[in-house]
Chains A and B, each alone.
Chain A
């Protein structure tokens, strides 16, 4: 059945929730903080309502689907799926989310930014809802990584603290990295199963499990699940994540995000699960994690650290159950996920209250708090009893089921007795850390209300806003413990059916199953835990224990140190700060890559396009080029001479264009040459006039070899291409320029019409370069040398009279010429670029003739700053032309033209592209003047 409401469930917090919270919480006033929390709560409530609206259909056994293609080319679709499993998780995420939001509204200090907190929390909620609702593996991965990122942001919420930053980075590296490994697994799964749709894959489990690559895909997906769900040996990020604010720990790092890995194991159970390999790996990792985490938890002195390791242990318990082959184990796993979410979120909230009220979480300093916090103490006592697996709480029932499955497991480790033994040991340590949590915090110390040794010596009961969520969760623990079949039985059965792909065998959730082996083991675990704790605590020996890092953390740190060290060494080896060296490396690599393409095959020779015979003029120009290049190299230390010769090479270039049928290019090159030579000379006036001779001989030799190799490569490639025939899209342009573009100068039609978008980009670059120059030199006053290289003082002559008169006469003529060039551009050589450059030259001439100050005054240039407006105007006109086409329902920059007959002037060829070209013209004039006048302003500085 399709349901259009499904995408709303993750999208609502993603778009509306996060943006609204960021916006509302921007101002830090009490009203705004309350409003932000209220907005977040309202979103969570709406999500719950949306889920409730779908629940009847889902609980009746239907699977709701919603399908929207996103990037169908790679199999990524925004498909969502709501069955009972997804409903359970989505309800947990939004329900606990709502409680956490209420709790956090009172928890956060007045100077903690509320917008950042609730906005990121909304982001996380959306990501998590996306994971559980996604019906597409790739979509799921997108949300999966989004939870890693939002978790990173939330752990690092107090980003001024070192431990927050370290914890955030570690969590991101482990869970984000695991997600990437999982992506590889998903791609494999998609290839094997022929689809990324989970609904499709669920039907193809047998095919996938029989495939030779199944073990690889399973291994990769499991790495993702284990890192996210903090399974040994990837568990160590979770205790460090406790640097997050406590509401975050309660929400992400106990109730929801760390269960994402378990969710995925359940979701893909029909696809991947049930094999001996699956059972061996998941069951073993779960069992080891359960015992290990519980054991370490007993020895943690930090309240939240203890809870973190207990979470690791409980997650291990669930993973162990998922791994076990029997269907009832899945029922127990589903049930324990619910139970754990309830009691662990409650315990974290209680831990947050203790921290909030006393200012510390160190169990060695706390103790005897029951007198000061009787209500919180009672609630935590009840929640801890549920965690320890005592009757009549919910935790007891699911732990009994776990022990039952462990005792009767026949396939894991061949049904060895070590399995129930380890499971019982896990229960024993759980009882011990639960006991320690309550005892060390609320009883083990003097029972008075004033605690002199604490940072805050007067703890008292918090407001009900913080206690109410706690109370609600504890009530759930008790109620489910007392009436499990009534409250949870049907629902758990429904969810288990979705996990198994078939209805589970009959089971009854109950406190009392009669005297049997699991009950006996449970009693052993509780009593053993009591004894173990009593033994450790005798004479407070436990408080003297020094904690150390366990498991994967030393490995992670070793890898991190090694990677950072290697990166630093590589940087030192390659990046010595010498630009000369980088350029050499770059050119060398380019040469190598270019040569690589020809490696292995015979070198191609000349093609069959008949060559053009060289004319005497061409040979003369070629010889001139040789002479100029030799001159540039010979006189490179005398900069004025070299500059003039480089300008000469520009002239040769423009002759080349002219000779080979490119009049537009010749005109452009010629005008650019004029302005850029002026520019170079102006720059040179502020730089030393000569270069020292400092390169050692070996370096000159190396550079010459590199230069010749690069030059030879370019020449050879050019020759190869020029001697061959070619086919190009240009022929299309040639055919259609006149009938469709309305112009006979094809180059100009391409610029302003066919490739108008490119041109728009290019004039934007031009504008950016101009503004960049302004940013570089604005306000800079370069110190000019007072003496010339020969030691004579510079004198500043007034511009010669002839020049002034000529410039004044030339300006209107040049403007008329540029208008003419502009106007004819669509049909004859010319156009916006060339006309812009001609105008630029004419104006630059004014600068030279009447001086910087007068020209500035004339043009209102304000040291170049005003020309940014010209650039902006030009870009604006070009953009408006494009948008105008869009208003007429044509693609951006579509051109139109007509030939209206105007009295006196006759028939006129008018194209909307001409307006675009006008934008080009103004931008070019603006950018040219901007660069020159900024440089001119900089050189008006004081003499040194």
Chain B
């Protein structure tokens, strides 16, 4: 990703990542945050909060992940009813493998990331769906605590996918943050 930013000559990019993508974004920003204008971490994983309970993403039975992802049960039914093409099924399998490669052990975190966060001075917004049952907002709170220029905003009536469940509130939060903080 850093290579991509470099190749595209993006000097003041706004980087937004969600869930596993937020972890990747944080890792990239820690290594080369100077080229970023702002950072948004939405429902992030990547840090270990001792004693924090979380469902085992690799032992969830089929459908369970979808049921846990949304706050609104109607969205669960829509998601489960959506037809899945062979191509899409393949893509999901590949994603699953990549997810396991990155996140199996240590589970969903990099033990070395937290100590570098105080060095990351890029203005950062941590967004969490307040009703996230897949990834606890406490992890986002830890990011916000450790980063020198960050705050956490909770989006209500939203679970792990606030960008889908509460798109207006999600976008408003991001836009307001960028408008306020991008130098």
Is chain B found bound to chain A in the same assembly? no
A-binding residues in B (CB < 8 A): none
B-binding residues in A (CB < 8 A): none
